Amino acid sequence: MAPRVIPAPGVLPDYKRDAREAFECMKAGGVIIIPTDLGYGLMSASNEGIERSFNAKERKQGHTLGVIGTFRAFKELNVLPPEKVEMIRVVTQDMDQTLNTVAPMVKNHPRLAHLTPENLARITKGDTLGMNIGESPFLRELGHLNDEDGQLMVGSSANITGTGQKLRVEDIEPSVYAAADLVVDYGLQRYHRYQRSGTILDVENMRVLRIGAGYEILRERIKKWWGYDLIEDPVNKTDKVGLSYSIKTEHAEKF
């Protein structure tokens, strides 16, 4: 049975309405495909849903998933010095930048209690937890609903492992698409030009585990305000930033 797709044809996106539907689907044990700016994600909250997502991605044991949520969830689930917590708040909330983090976790936190040992192992390594803090209006709203309910959203990119981010719903493999109960289709995602997934930052040790979309901006901000000199992006260098030019169209002369 094909998943239900929202918004329906002819209906405009409404992030609060769409986030509520996605939340309710997960609350009922379902699997959802949602937009994340970096590409589409395959998410769930129940153990059965997490298992279904993991298998649809054709992941092997030992491969990880992540918690996807708000800065509030990050603060609740991780143990870090106040200055590190504030750094993540400023980067994600004030600067509107999505970020994947690895940080020491609060052991036996109530939001982790329902996970099977297999699923807990998929989002943790040792005493650390992997998490994505998404800052689009849709993800903030969905994360807020999860926070108020105490629900934990777990997932990864909506693709077969190793095939790269899917930046439009139409590009998602049929087997991954079919694993979902609900698809939120917001068209082409914002950071498609990077052709990268998200940056992963080991917050405790300030080490970059993966260079992702928008990393060069994150690197400059962290150095400017907190003094950490993270590794340089080998492709998107910022030592010389060129001038910005617009492209006029044939209609420009009318204005």
Q: How many angstroms separate the CA atoms of 147 and 70, rounded?
A: 8
Residue 230 pLDDT greater than 90, yes or no: yes
Nearest in space to 170 (alpha carbons), one of 181, 155, 186: 186
DSSP character at residue 2? P
CATH assignment of 4-226?
3.90.870.10
Q: How many angstroms separate the CA atoms of 196 and 112, rounded?
A: 29
Average pLDDT over residues 226-255: 83
Q: Which amino acid is at 202?
A: D
**Structure confidence by residue, pLDDT tens digits, 137-189:** 999 999 999 999 999 999 999 999 888 889 999 999 999 999 999 999 999 99
**Structure confidence by residue, pLDDT tens digits, 37-81:** 899 999 999 999 999 999 989 877 767 889 999 999 999 999 999
Residue 16 pLDDT greater than 70, yes or no: yes
3-state DSSP assignment of residue 105:
strand
Q: Where are the beta strands (DSSP E) in the chain?
A: 4-6, 31-35, 40-44, 66-69, 99-104, 124-125, 128-133, 154-157, 182-184, 200-202, 207-210
**Structure confidence by residue, pLDDT tens digits, 100-124:** 999 999 998 999 999 999 999 999 9
The structural domains of the chain, with segments of one domain joined by +, span: 4-226
Nearest in space to 49 (alpha carbons), one of 153, 122, 143, 124: 153
**Structure confidence by residue, pLDDT tens digits, 20-43:** 999 999 999 999 999 998 999 999
Q: What are phi and psi of 207, to 5 degrees?
A: -115, 140
Residue 192 pLDDT greater than 70, yes or no: yes
pLDDT score recorded for residue 112: 94
Q: Can you read off the two tokens belonging to residue 91?
A: 């980067």
221 against 254, higher pLDDT: 221
Residue 255 pLDDT greater than 70, yes or no: no
Nearest in space to 41 (alpha carbons), one of 182, 178, 175, 157: 157
Strand partners, 40: 35
pLDDT band at 130 (very low <50, low <70, confident <90, very high): very high
Average pLDDT over residues 218-245: 90
Q: Beta strand 207-210 with 200-202: parallel, antiparallel or unpaired? A: antiparallel
N- to C-terminal Cα distance for the chain? 51
- 12 Cβ partners below 8 Å, 6+ apart? none
Q: Can you read off the two tokens belonging to residue 58?
A: 């054709």
Q: Beta strand 4-6 with 182-184: parallel, antiparallel or unpaired? A: parallel
